[in-house]
Amino acid sequence: MWVFGYGSLMWKADFPYELKIIGHVKGFKRRFWQKSVSHRGTPTKPGRAVTLLSGQEDDRVWGVAYKISESAKEEVRKNLDIREGAYEKFQTMFYPRDSSVDPFNLMLYIGTPDNPNYAGPQDEKVLAKIIKKSVGPSGPNLEYLLNLAQFVRENIPEDKDSHLFLLESLVSQK
């Protein structure tokens, strides 16, 4: 089993895996449009987490694919189902950065617009304020955003996610 991380799973893979590969999925956009009520916010003051939206065929979301062993896959899937909460599981094609590795199918979690914690589009300045102020059991929402931006910058320099980097810039303003 392969699973794709495009948010906190990129820097906080709290499950056993055999291999990790950087690459992308096509036809999606990463957005901070999912309310985080149990990790980076609370039910009364939800933070924001990333989800994927359908995009154009040439849109790419970069992340990390993790290969889970046969012996661990049921336990990992069960724990990810709990961790990802309102997110639904989907299968899609993954394109490794290393072109000598063939594309392959993997599982990913998406917070779809019909789930109760989908926040939908918001002005990035409003999002930045929410992210700066929100805190949940997993820590400050700001930490989530900054860890994601740092991981992408350091490990996936070809990822020019304008939404992510605009939010990073906005939260650093007074």
By annotation, the residues acting in catalysis are 84
CA–CA gap between residue 162 and residue 44 (Å, rounded): 29
> Hey, which bits of the chain come out as E strands?
2-5, 19-26, 28-36, 47-54, 60-67, 88-96, 104-110, 135-136, 139-140
Phi, psi (degrees; rounded to nearest 5) at 145: -60, -50
**Which 8-state DSSP code applies to residue 157?**
T
For residue 150, how many other CB atoms are within 10 A of its CB? Answer: 12
